[in-house]
Amino acid sequence: MMKGGEIKMTATKAVKRNYYSVEFLFPDEIVNQEILSDLIIPAVQGEFYSYSSKFTDERPLYAFMKCKANKNRPIDTIKDLGHEANLLFLFNKLEQIKVCPVKTAHTSGLLGNSVNSELLSNTFIAPAKITAEHFYNLYFKKDASKLMKISQESCLECKTSIIPLELEMIIAMMTDCGKYGLFLVKDLTSTSIQIDACHILL
């Protein structure tokens, strides 16, 4: 127990070993998934967000917003989200689930003509060469400088913008407006993906 908050610990099975994800939950971050808002609540500069989120073929958009806002959004909300929309999960029962930046999705014709690409932020993604233990340690400690360093180094090396996803894979994220993040693939089905993630606006 820590003054001003509480600690939640969950055990997660990893390949050949067990690790624990530990999260400090402070009052403004104790948010029930069922009451998360679909309002557009932008991230606040300097606030470190650690959270879990589930994306489906009905809610495949990923928006890097404040903890109290749903990160998963229906695809037709992109015209309202604008630069708050960052990634799109691609669901195809015959293939692996993939993820790509919304600008890549727009260029590929996956978003139709409902949004002006100039209103979308540039988001960069790449596999992060870190372990699950490293991810959860950063997630727990809310280490903004390490998060930014890993995101920058990973994304600058990446040469592709559409990434097939696998269980326990870790993806680094970076935007042109100063957001940095990571997500770990916690569960996959043909129509959904569950992630643990963290991001910050600097």
pLDDT > 90 in the chain, percent: 69
* Model confidence at 2: pLDDT above 50: no
Question: Average per-residue pLDDT in the chain?
Answer: 85
- 93-112: average pLDDT: 91
**Closest to 38 measured CA to CA, from 76, 10, 9, 89:** 76
Q: Distances from the Cα of 99 to the Cαs of 27, 44, 54, 118, in angstroms?
A: 32, 25, 14, 20
Pick from 33-37, 149-153, 196-200: least confident: 33-37
Identify which has the larger pLDDT, 113 or 2.
Answer: 113
* Model confidence at 5: pLDDT above 80: no
pLDDT score for 89: 98
In sequence order, which residues have a C-beta less than 8 Å from that of residue 137 and are 6 or more positions away? Answer: none
* Model confidence at 95: pLDDT above 70: yes
- Partners of 147 in the beta sheet? none
Domain ranges, ordered by start, for the chain: 6-201
- 179-198: average pLDDT: 97
- 45-59: average pLDDT: 97
Cβ-in-10-Å burial (0-12, 13-18, 19+) of 130 comes to middle
Tell me the pLDDT tens digit for each residue of 9-42: 333 333 333 333 344 344 344 344 447 899 999 9
Pick from 106-110, 134-138, 176-180: least confident: 106-110
Tokens of 181: 């993040």
pLDDT score for 1: 39
* Model confidence at 115: pLDDT above 90: no
